A and B are shown apart, each in its own frame.
Chain A
Amino acid sequence: MKKRLLAAALAATMVAASVTGCAQSGDAGSQGSGDAAGGDTVKIGGLAPLTGNVSVYGIATNNGIKLAVDEINKAGGVLGKKIEYVPYDEKGDAIEAVNAYNKLVQDDKVVALIGDVTSKPTIAVAQKAVKDGLPMITATGTAADITKAGDNVFRACFIDTYQGELMAAYAARKLNAKTAAIIYDNGDEYSTGVANAFEEAAKSEVITITNKEAYQSGAMDFKTQLTKIKASNPDVVMIPVYYSDVALIAVQAKDIGLKAKLLGADGWDGVLEKIDKSNQDAVKDCYFCSQYSAESTDPKLQDFLKKYKETYKADPTLFAVLGYDAMGMMAAAINKAGSTDSDKIISALKALEYKGLTGNTTFDENRNPVREAVITTITDGKYKFVENFKK
């Protein structure tokens, strides 16, 4: 009997643990404003995963957008009217996103859309938006296919390939690199995307790629690949992976005595927090690009970061910053168009020169942003802003 009780207790604990593990705190940002009376406002729709697996990104983006709306409305709104932002939670799911999109267009009659946040639902929504000709900006969807959907789809963030090209240019022009190696995660789209773009761009920058080494997602031993790279002694090693892998690779590179400079893309953001102080000298000679730097002295950005912290009691991330800029771009375009007509907004966006938190943005022919990236290095266990760089 005693044994059975013990077994039951254990089973109960197991169930409790797994249930708590999956519990999601649902916080669908309620945004309905009271003065939504007919034509007094300009309605802009929003799509973001506010609950579910990728809600971290959705909530941050949505929060950034809301701060932008507040600011724009305080300054007089657009076309003399206030912006009414109507966000829907799509839970990170493409089908939910399309349903929410239909609701935004048919019921809410929005004039433009900010969203979606992650790539897959954004692609689905973009395909619908093309048919309606609705102006849309995704703040953070990086997949190249998103803006290929049609003329009305824009994005505020860099695409993966742009970062690869940018770092190849930086290595050649600023670090005088003649040879480079690449190590990347072949199970991850972001990583392979940046790696391939870097390799391609290296050709035109006259950098010789000595090694292109892959590893499989979840690997923790990189010594074999690094030993191979060490043997060909390149000037730089491009490591376009996420920060927790960077932490492992950098420490092992130091262990085996690899001397090359380490390069990375925006996946490096947060790497210092994943390396213990005693190992931080492993990333002392590194350069990575990102879309903004919290160390930047731009008063507008500092003001935003402060306000975000006060309002949401959380640290602002890149997603929040891009959300803010996406809304800023859309508002600026509507003002410039002088009307809420879809075609006029789209032409205004194409010709837009927007000065936001991430710098001065224009759109290229694929409606991807062109602007300077921030190059960051790490010294004495701190991120340090190096310079703004544009290919």
Chain B
Amino acid sequence: MEFLSQVINGLGIGSIYALVALGYSMVYGIVQLINFAHGDIIMVGAYTVFVILVMMNLPLWLAVLGSILFCGVAGVLIERVAYRRLLVHAAPRISLLITAIGVSIFLQNLYQLLFGSDPKSMPKMFVFAPLQFGGVQLTSSTIINISVSVVMMAGLQLMVNKMKIGKAMRATSEDAGAAKLMGINTNTTIAFTFGIGSALAAVGAVLYCNTYPQIKPAMGGLLGLKAFVAAVLGGIGSIPGAMLGGYLLGVAESLTNAYISSNLTDAVVFGILIIVLLVKPTGLLGKNTREKV
């Protein structure tokens, strides 16, 4: 029974990793950029919830909606200001990466300046009584985390595979030059991808605040790193892969804590990553793409 509880604990945190990993994966899929500022978008989302819910004392739905919109816009804006010029001029990959790190540091410092570096506490958000199945208890936050992440992934998968913008995204990802020739506005498509990725990070932020009622400017660092690991584990560029990676990471952490040693959590988790990459360098669900000559 305890084993099942621990697996569910792992899925709860894994859902948040998964939502954040989706953003990494989508952006990487389309422009091959590891957007290290993505973790800090979660922080931006969390502080937006804090501002609307606590400082302005407005209703919860407004805070959630506001946070998602704000992050979506912020994502588009960051792409426009920091990355587009580099992308259009086909700057070396390393320049993009360094810019991403710069944006990350900028966001952390900006929020530290605005709100101070000490943690802020969040109120209760979505609460209902825990469900009991035999000896296994499901807390409200775990149920919400798992179900929201599944719904989000399904929606995203539907959008990418069925909708026109999804087709444009796939085309841009496959071959941006050819897509442009076919009349696809690749700039808009890339901006849209950043926006959607950031909006998903905001959803992750809302779940985060609901589960761990404390936020600080540096919170995106470790969370972003773990989500990045989840994305790589699942196969970066793949949507189901990001989800799978997130859940696996969460469960691996939880089970290591529970049955091996809480002193070794990170060692075991990153050990798994190394083994997976040795055996399958593209990640669990990654596609084997050969460089075209």
B102→A276 contact, CB < 8 A: no
Stretch at the interface among A172-180, A200-208, A249-257: A249-257
In the complex, what residue of chain A is closest to B120 when comparing beta carbons?
A274
In the complex, what residue of chain A is closest to B255 when comparing beta carbons?
A224
Q: List B contacts of A227 (CB < 8 A).
A: 2, 5-6, 9, 258
- 11 A-B residue pairs with Cβ-Cβ distance under 8 Å, sorted by A, are A214-B261, A214-B262, A214-B263, A216-B263, A220-B219, A224-B253, A244-B214, A255-B130, A275-B213, A277-B123, A279-B213
- Interface size range of chain B in the complex: 35 or more
- Candidate in A214, A223, A248 with the most chain B CB atoms within 10 angstroms: A223
Report the minimal beta-carbon distance from A157 to chain B, rounded to whole angstroms. Answer: 23
Q: 5 other contacts beyond A227-B2, A227-B5, A279-B213, with CB at 8 A cut-off?
A: A13-B106, A17-B109, A21-B113, A227-B258, A256-B137
Task: Given the known inter-chain contacts A256-B139, A277-B123, please indicate yes or no for A220 contacting B214, CB distance below 8 A.
Answer: yes
In the complex, what residue of chain B is closest to A186 when comparing beta carbons?
B263
Q: Once the chains are docked, how many angstroms separate the CA of A275 from the CA of B123?
A: 8
Task: Given the known inter-chain contacts A6-B81, A215-B262, A221-B13, please indicate yes or no for A278 contacting B6, CB distance below 8 A.
Answer: no
Q: List A contacts of B121 (CB < 8 A).
A: 247, 273-276, 279
A176-235 at interface with B (beta carbon < 8 Å): 186, 213-216, 218, 220-221, 223-225, 227-228, 231
User: Secondary structure of the B side of the interface?
Assistant: helix
- A25 CB–B CB distance under 8 Å: no
- B184 CB–A CB distance under 8 Å: no
- Interface size range of chain A in the complex: 35 or more
B103-128 at interface with A (beta carbon < 8 Å): 105-106, 109-110, 112-113, 118-119, 121-124
Q: List B contacts of A255 (CB < 8 A).
A: 130, 139-141
- Candidate in B106, B112, B123, B213 with the most chain A CB atoms within 10 angstroms: B213
A276→B123 contact, CB < 8 A: yes
B134-152 at interface with A (beta carbon < 8 Å): 137, 139-141
Q: List A contacts of B9 (CB < 8 A).
A: 221, 223-224, 227
In the complex, what residue of chain A is closest to B141 when comparing beta carbons?
A255
- A10 CB–B CB distance under 8 Å: yes
Q: Once the chains are docked, how many angstroms separate the CA of A273 from the CA of B81?
A: 38
User: Secondary structure of the A side of the interface?
Assistant: helix
Q: Mark B204-248, 1 if CB is under 8 A from A, else 0.
A: 000000011110100100100000000000000000000000000
Q: List B contacts of A224 (CB < 8 A).
A: 6, 9-10, 253-254, 257-258, 262
- B280 CB–A CB distance under 8 Å: no
Q: List A contacts of B82 (CB < 8 A).
A: 10
B212→A225 contact, CB < 8 A: no
- A297 CB–B CB distance under 8 Å: no
- A18 CB–B CB distance under 8 Å: yes
**Total A-B residue pairs with C-beta atoms closer than 8 Å?**
109
A1-43 at interface with B (beta carbon < 8 Å): 3, 6-7, 10, 13-14, 17-18, 20-21
A87-130 at interface with B (beta carbon < 8 Å): none
Q: List A contacts of B112 (CB < 8 A).
A: 21
The 7 A-B pairs with the shortest beta carbon distances in the complex, nearest first, are A224-B257, A278-B124, A276-B123, A17-B109, A223-B9, A278-B123, A276-B121
Q: List A contacts of B140 (CB < 8 A).
A: 255
A267-306 at interface with B (beta carbon < 8 Å): 273-279
B102→A14 contact, CB < 8 A: yes
A18→B105 contact, CB < 8 A: yes
Q: List A contacts of B5 (CB < 8 A).
A: 227
Task: Given the known inter-chain contacts A17-B113, A220-B214, please indicate yes or no for A276 contacting B6, CB distance below 8 A.
Answer: no
Q: Once the chains are docked, how many angstroms separate the CA of A275 from the CA of B54?
A: 13
Q: Mark A304-347, 1 if CB is under 8 A from B, else 0.
A: 00000000000000000000000000000000000000000000
Q: Once the chains are docked, how many angstroms separate the CA of A18 from the CA of B110?
A: 8
Q: List B contacts of A186 (CB < 8 A).
A: 262-263
B85→A7 contact, CB < 8 A: yes
Q: Once the chains are docked, how many angstroms separate the CA of A231 from the CA of B5?
A: 10
Q: List B contacts of A220 (CB < 8 A).
A: 212, 214, 219
Q: List B contacts of A231 (CB < 8 A).
A: 2
Report the minimal beta-carbon distance from B60 to chain A, rounded to whole angstroms. Answer: 12
Q: Once the chains are docked, how many angstroms separate the CA of A223 from the CA of B211?
A: 10
- B266 CB–A CB distance under 8 Å: yes
Report the minimal beta-carbon distance from B44 to chain A, rounded to whole angstroms. Answer: 14
- B157 CB–A CB distance under 8 Å: no
In the complex, what residue of chain B is closest to A251 when comparing beta carbons?
B213
Q: List A contacts of B54 (CB < 8 A).
A: 276
From A6, A216, A257, contact of B265 by CB (8 A) = A216
Task: Given the known inter-chain contacts A225-B257, A227-B9, A255-B139, please indicate yes or no for A279 contacting B123, CB distance below 8 A.
Answer: yes
Report the minimal beta-carbon distance from B49 to chain A, rounded to whole angstroms. Answer: 12
Report the minimal beta-carbon distance from B129 to chain A, rounded to whole angstroms. Answer: 10
Q: Once the chains are docked, how many angstroms separate the CA of A255 from the CA of B110?
A: 33
- B12 CB–A CB distance under 8 Å: yes
Q: List B contacts of A256 (CB < 8 A).
A: 130, 137, 139
Q: List B contacts of A6 (CB < 8 A).
A: 81
Report the minimal beta-carbon distance from B138 to chain A, rounded to whole angstroms. Answer: 10
Q: List B contacts of A18 (CB < 8 A).
A: 105, 109
Report the minimal beta-carbon distance from A11 to chain B, rounded to whole angstroms. Answer: 9
Report the minimal beta-carbon distance from B114 to chain A, rounded to whole angstroms. Answer: 10
Q: Mark B80-112, 1 if CB is under 8 A from A, else 0.
A: 011001000000000000000010011001101
B119→A274 contact, CB < 8 A: yes
Q: Once the chains are docked, how many angstroms separate the CA of A275 from the CA of B212?
A: 11
Q: Once the chains are docked, how many angstroms separate the CA of A277 from the CA of B113?
A: 25
Q: Once the chains are docked, how many angstroms separate the CA of A279 from the CA of B141?
A: 14
In the complex, what residue of chain A is closest to B121 when comparing beta carbons?
A276
Report the minimal beta-carbon distance from A271 to chain B, rounded to whole angstroms. Answer: 10
Q: List A contacts of B123 (CB < 8 A).
A: 276-279
B81→A10 contact, CB < 8 A: yes
Q: Once the chains are docked, how many angstroms separate the CA of A244 from the CA of B214?
A: 8
Q: List B contacts of A279 (CB < 8 A).
A: 121, 123-124, 213
- Candidate in A20, A227, A256 with the most chain B CB atoms within 10 angstroms: A227
Q: Once the chains are docked, how many angstroms separate the CA of A247 from the CA of B119?
A: 10
Q: List A contacts of B212 (CB < 8 A).
A: 220-221, 248, 251-252
Q: List B contacts of A257 (CB < 8 A).
A: 130, 137
Q: Once the chains are docked, how many angstroms separate the CA of A333 from the CA of B212?
A: 50
